[in-house]
Amino acid sequence: MIAFNDKFELRSDVQCSDKSLTHRAFIAAAIADSKSVIRNVTFSRDVLSTVEALRALGANIAIKGDCAVVTPVVSPPEGQVVLNCGNSGTTARLLAGVAAGLGVNAVFTGDESLSKRPMDRVVKPLRRLGADIFLRNDCLFECRGGALRGAEIISEVNSAQVKSAVLFAGLFAEGETVYSERCPTRDHTEILLRELGADIAVGQSVSVRKSRIRGFETVLPNDPSSAAYSVALALLTKREALFTDVLLNERRMGFYRALQRAGARIQFVNVRSVLGEKVGDVEVLPSELSPLTLSAAQAADAIDEIPLLAVISLFTAGTHTFEGVSELAFKESDRIEAILHMASVAKQRAEFCNGTLTVHSDGKPLAKRRFKTFGDHRVAMCEAVACIAAGGGCIDDAPFDVSHPNFLSSIGVCPLKLGLIGTHVAQSVSPRMQTYLAMQAGVCCSYVTVTLPENVSDGELLRVAQSFDGLNVTMPFKTRMAKLLKADVPAVNTIGKNIAATSTDGYGLTRPLEKHGVCFAKKPLWIVGAGGAAESCVCELLKYGCQLQVINRTEANAKRLRDKYSLPESVADPEGVLTFLPECAFEKQIVLPESCKFVFIAAYMGKSGVRLQAEERGLVVADGFEMNYFQGALGFSLWTGTAVQDDYEGYLKYVKEFDYV
């Protein structure tokens, strides 16, 4: 998760090369007649998927910094190759045409998200050209080459990716390949092929004949889709901004044109040509926006930015309509669902019917909201914009590197890196709790869980720990980390770059008891368990003059604590029983004495025999969920230098409202 506040700084010197052009430049270079040099490359995960797939097809690609030198394919691979396209639909669909043209036997695979996206839309037209390509249940599709011949293809879906696949295949096909669209889509491929000498003609339809394109050198322009998030922040916070060297292809201006029609003061200056494409600077001035509307034709030129326009709509009073956006359901996630979610979380209203998305907003979305990203990079960036513009909020995931690895740097946000390590932490509630603390304190930070094997080396354990600004440590590393860091406590659960390694278990125990009105100082108590958390609480309770008896299923461990802290073997008539064990046969056998007035149950997940007895007798019960909150609140305070937040009831309300992940 990442929690945002209202602090950011827009930067024109940190941008992202246009992803559409980057994919196409690498593909064109791989099938050109000579070496190519491509500069200003942003190596996002999607772009790297294309690079690795082209290498598998036989291209030699040398990378140094943001520059790549591409030596084209000379001899396509013999035998079957696997092309892992990761999350990139562009990689899969465009390279389908290249693999068919090269006559390669290639199996196309992808991640879970890509595997759900429709691929028959590219398979069908390539089969019309003679490609031996077909869908498979265990992968995206398989291509076995085939003798390609020109054909006339009429698009069944509005897709620049499908058009590009056909055009790349057409470079290898005998005769003329003609591609016609019902609704014009992005024309990057046509422009690039024409610029590089392909036998191509563009009119009402696009026609291409078998031809070899030439090698080239270029500096890629910046991505208008990536710049759009910075533009949106500038508009929503009424700041002036300038973003340089941005691709201004008319088929990519849908987002900007929609905003201009709504009153945004956006200008394009210093316009010039790069690889046949129009490039320039985008100037943004403070503006008052009216409701946004897009026809189906206009939406086609802004399809990737529709979710961002929807976010802007949430901050602009009125009714906003976006027609012809059904294609959003087939992106990296169902982005229609994501938009409806964003509106609902912001306490606004959105609906989708017959291809039209409608957003109704009072222009005042609530702050400090928790958004679900659906694992989608564009949804994540949209929600980050919403959080910052609203004055704070958080997102549950941050897959920015799929398309815009420089995203946070480009908006001048540098979150504190916080996290949790252990062997079984995937279902931990700590990320949710730390999110709440961060938003309440107005601190920008990320919090992730890291699962490590129990036998991880000391060196690796320390390396991981030192990569965080602040870290929670859980079983089985608490005592081990204390020894490695030479801590003053037997077991640590909180470490950080600017704090001494410590345990917040004691505070996590005593603060809930105090909130329940329990007087535990100088009282006789039973401690059930002898692990790191139990020992930390023994240390804390001794400071309060408590008389402690340790009970454990392994007597040797109980004796170790008795000897170490000079504890008696038995304590009569305890007023409280504090158990640090999960429910088990031993825990269920413990009988609460008549003298007991309260219990503390550290294991908050699952049942507890001790809790059941206490509830039947009407005793005060404090539990590990409360302990977890106060432990975390103290740790967060130590990491960030903020006051400890004593707002457990607010946290419970937050959990109830946002418990959807």
Alpha-carbon gap, residue 40 to 16, rounded angstroms: 8
What's the chain's length in residues?
Answer: 661
Alpha helices in 61-119 (DSSP H): 89-102, 112-115
SS3 531: coil
What is the spatial distance between Cα 371 and Cα 81, in angstroms, rounded to a whole number? 40
Tokens 């999960």 sit at which residue? 582
Tell me if residue 335 falls in helix, strand or coil.
Answer: helix
DSSP codes joined into one string, 231-290 = HHHHHHTT--EEEEEEE--GGG-HHHHHHHHTT-EEEEEEEEEETTEEEEEEEEE---PP
- List, as one string, the DSSP characters of 595-643: T--EEEE---SS--HHHHHHHHHT-EEEEHHHHHHHHHHHHHHHHHTPP
DSSP 160: H
Closest CA to 659 of 456, 433, 495: 433
- Give the Cα-Cα-Cα angle 330, 336, 342 (nearest 5 degrees): 140
CB 322 within 8 A of CB 309: yes
Cα–Cα distance measured from residue 632 to residue 638, given in angstroms and rounded to the nearest whole number: 10
**Active-site option among 46, 187, 223, 304:** 304
Q: Which SS3 state, helix, strand or coil, does residue 162 take?
A: helix
Measured between alpha carbons, how far is residue 613 from residues 412, 516, 601, 616 in Å?
Answer: 54, 18, 12, 5
C-alpha distance from residue 289 to each of 9, 232, 258, 298, 415 (Å): 22, 12, 11, 18, 30
Q: How far apart are CA 588 and CA 627, in angstroms?
A: 22
304: annotated active-site residue: yes
3-state secondary structure 354-379: CCEEEEEECCCCCCCEEECCCCCHHH
Rg (CA), the chain: 30
Q: How many CB atoms lie within 10 A of CB 413?
A: 17
Structure token digits, residue 649: 């009831």
Catalytic residues: 304
